[in-house]
Amino acid sequence: MFDILIVNAKIHGKKELVQIGCKDGKILEIAPKIESKAKEIIDAAGYFVTPPFIDSHIHLDATLSMGMPRFNQSGTLLEGIKIWGELKPSLTHEAIKARAKQLLLWSIAKGNLVIRSHVDTTDPSLLAVDVLLELRREMKEFVDLQLVAFPQDGVLRSKNAMELLIRALDKGVDVIGGIPHFERTMAEGAESVRLLCELAEQRGLMVDMHCDESDDPHSRYIENLVLETQRLGLHGRVAGSHLTSMHSMDNYYVSKLFALMSEARINCICNPLVNMNLQGRHDTYPKRRGLMRVSELLDAGINVSFGHDDVMDPWYPMGTHDMLEVVHMGAHALHMTGVDQQASLFDGVTINAAKTLNLENYGLAPGCNADMVILQASSKQECIRLRPARLFVIRRGKVISHMPKTRASVNIGSGDVDVDFCR
């Protein structure tokens, strides 16, 4: 007897519809016809079933704070950091928690059940760290939160920042972050990467740095990240977030860089919505897109996943935390509208992201967690085209969110006709 059986499910790579049987929070069987009974049956009606979406990069401490204390007029990263610095002294436990929790409700409704959030550790009170650790405990039945200790104002540039970052790790933050391009000098940027990677090696932790989030092609801290990953044996456990300077680098240099990144098994996290907004702000015309070279990285065998980065905060005024919106922007801005390229983008918010986050038991296969999303679409590509309704969001074999199908009634003179945008 299964706890839950999903019938008429369209899954990637299978022509015929399948049934998915789950028990005790795990997927036990996937087959065209399953004989066992189930306590609950969900009819997917031929729509697409996927493992849940994963956001590899967001800032839950700043989320939904747009306009506080003022709006970002220049639209630049640096003005965003300044506004966040102005807001920090007036933040309260209740306010951060209410906003982050509101965002998590959106996340769940959109089918994002795993989220890696950076949390600013340069505030001496570590208020946001305490809030997000508390929220992670309270929401653990519904969503997995990985937290990154992020020294927003620079681990060497900001007073006591290394000590505060270590305190955040002691409290239970999982991953070590950094921001080398914001340190005072190139030498200090490189030194910050060395110190933070050594700390990760000592503590057996993963690394995820804001790295080269700049339009300056000479911002090359990715080189230091690769060097330290190799030196300390951190292969596969290190991620470079943003890497936007790669857009403006010389092609010859990039050809050397990709080989080094591949050897070190660096994971790359691209944030198309936010970097399309922040980058190229100092350009006249032509204006650079300022995104890492995703298609070429994938061709070089380097893992790439995607993040929303910001939702309605000092750096980005829009968003509903829909990871399909992230890759929809990616498809356009990265020139990745080919059929296989769109499938790779979808993988960047599902299976490739699971690799970046070093997740276990993720996927749509027997033995994996019974976590999945049923979308009103029929394929990975159609999910990106439509960004459709998440009909059911299932976590450990239980429906935790559902919504009706979206359709229009069109009347062109001969009565109402139902219009569904699926092909």
Q: Which active-site residues does the annotation give?
A: 213
Residues within window 29-88 making contact with Fe ion, judged by CB under 5 A: none
**What length is written for the chain?**
423
Nearer to Fe ion, 3 or 309 (CB): 309
Name every residue whose Cβ is closer than 8 Å to that of residue 272 and which is 6 or more positions away in sequence.
291, 306, 326, 327, 329, 330, 333, 334
Nearer to Fe ion, 228 or 309 (CB): 309
Q: How far is the CB of 276 from Fe ion (least distance, A)?
A: 14
How far apart CA 135 and CA 120 sit, in angstroms, is: 15
Which among 138, 213, 132 has a CA at the least distance from the CA of 180? 213
Q: Compute the distance between CA of residue 33 and CA of residue 21 in angstroms, rounded to an integer.
A: 10
User: Distance from CA of residue 297 to its chain's centroid?
Assistant: 18
Q: With contacts defined by CB under 5 A, how many residues of the chain interact with Fe ion?
A: 1
The CB-of-242 to Fe ion minimum distance in angstroms stands at 7
Three-state secondary-structure class, residue 258: helix
**Within positions 301 to 340, which residues make up the interface with Fe ion, using CB under 5 A?**
309
CA end-to-end span of the chain, whole Å?
35
In whole angstroms, how close is the CB of 179 to Fe ion at the nearest point?
Answer: 9
Closest CB to Fe ion: residue number: 309
Identify residues 353-392 at the interface with Fe ion (CB under 5 A): none
Amino acid letter, 165: L
- Smallest distance from Fe ion to CB 354, Å: 20
Which of 172, 164, 223 lies closest to 197 in space, CA to CA? 223
In the complex with Fe ion, which residue's Cβ is closer, 118 or 293? Answer: 118
Q: Could you tell me the smallest distance in angstroms from the CB atom of residue 395 to Fe ion?
A: 26
Is the Cβ of residue 309 or residue 313 nearer to Fe ion in the bound state?
A: 309
Please, which of residues 172-211 interact with Fe ion by CB under 5 A? none
C-alpha span between 87 and 69 (Å, rounded): 6
| Cβ proximity to Fe ion, 275 vs 344, nearer residue | 275
Q: Is 414 exposed, middle or buried (0-12, 13-18, 19+ CB in 10 A)?
A: exposed
Task: Give CA–CA dist 386/407, Å, rounded.
Answer: 12
48/84 with CB nearer Fe ion:
84
Give the whole-angstrom CA distance, residue 70 versus residue 48.
42
Contact present, 348 and 7 (Cβ < 8 Å): no
Name the minimum Å distance from CB 187 to Fe ion: 24
Residues that bind Fe ion (CB under 5 A): 309
